[in-house]
Structure 1
């Protein structure tokens, strides 16, 4: 059985060490020739750099509490604890799906994407390469996001250019009482400027 080493020594690497029983390496430590490699870095750009540098030796990990059915996926997939992936999904290379995220049926997730804890992708969502979905974000069904899209934490995405802030429940607050809005729930809408990085041709 091959030895497993984890590239990285931060918080995510510590979690992987517990889950996959690997040995964490600092950036200056040599990597044994016979070792399988887990990428223990959460930053999507650094993950992509390490994956491409060590392609062919990178392995994935699936937590014992992840719930998924047969799916198409590339090398280096990380499914963390509490993740649910429903039928019909296709997931690219070097994808990190973090704690408690829900990926509904028929989603397509491009290479090098990071999906943060508690995020929800409803049915038939498509993420281009290198997308980042923040913690607790919700992307409704059939939305397609282009390469390198950044979805802030807690955002409701209802279209490729329609990102909304979460619902605020103001019931019972002093301000709501003063304005006569004791029983009102407010939905704030705001279109975020998406960070989209294009590679030079």
Structure 2
């Protein structure tokens, strides 16, 4: 039984994940007690984002062996999530799923450990959400979708039915993916884009209709 949780990442995304945990507890739903953050940024030491302390760097978390303690990766960057998931894999600390009480999950939909689902999200039936993936505010995900590990679905996104989103992909604010398409691993879909064809792995697309743009690697603010 996981009774307490530490959030990895004390930035804006971390504060958002904290709000989801607190909303679950305020609604009387099952949720571990958030006890603080860990973050490797020295500038965040001593801060109290959302009223909780930054307890130290990630290595401090690796040294803890507390029964009933879980962890959630509260960062947006796919590459950082992959790195941290690998660092924490041998710690024995379980990854916690975090779902806002206003989110709706259809029958047969599954969430892998570490998945985060924000307020107002609707996920239809028989969809799979990968480990450490974030489905953010008011996004919708249709039926029979597969969302890979460490992906990010930003606020207001509409992923329609039978779409595959590869690991590490970012679908940015208010974009739409029409049915049956594949967004490749580590691809980026720009804000407001309407995707009418498959997106190659690692590509950046933007526009209506979405077109491949010159490659610009941009990590979301952690």
Q: TM-score range by the shorter chain?
A: 0.7 to 0.9
Larger Rg over CA atoms: 1
Rounded to whole Å, the distance in 1 between the matches of 2:18 and 2:211 is: 39
> Is contact 1:129-1:147 (8 Å) kept?
yes
Match status 1:125 vs 2:163 = yes
| Alpha carbons 2:97, 2:112 under 8 Å: kept | no
Task: Give the structure 2 partner of residue 170 of structure 1.
Answer: none
Deviation at 1:195, TM superposition (A): 4.9
Q: Residue 119 of structure 2 aligns with which residue? A: 81
Query: 2:111 aligned with 1:50, yes or no?
Result: no
Distance 2:124 2:74 in 1: 25
In the other structure, the counterpart of 1:2 is 3
Partner SS state of residue 135, structure 1: coil
Q: Structure 1 residue runs of 4+, over 4 Å off?
A: 161-164, 194-197
CA distance in 1, matches of 2:214, 2:37: 34
Normalized per residue, the structure richer in helix is 2
- TM-score between the two structures when normalised by the length of structure 2: 0.72
CA gap 1:194/1:59 in 2 versus in 1, 3 angstroms: farther
Q: Which one scores higher on RCO, CA 8 angstroms, separation ≥ 6?
A: 2
Residue 191 (structure 1) shift: 1.7
Query: Tell me, what secondary structure is at the counterpart of 1:192?
Result: strand
Contact 1:91 1:111 in 2 (8 A): yes
Instruction: Please list, as runs of the form range in 1=range in 2, the aligned pairs for 1:49-198 lying within 5 A after superposition.
Output: 49-55=83-89, 57-70=94-107, 71-161=109-199, 165-166=207-208, 189=209, 191-193=211-213, 195=215
TM-score by length of 1: 0.78
Structure 2 Cα separation of the partners of residues 194 and 111 of structure 1: 25
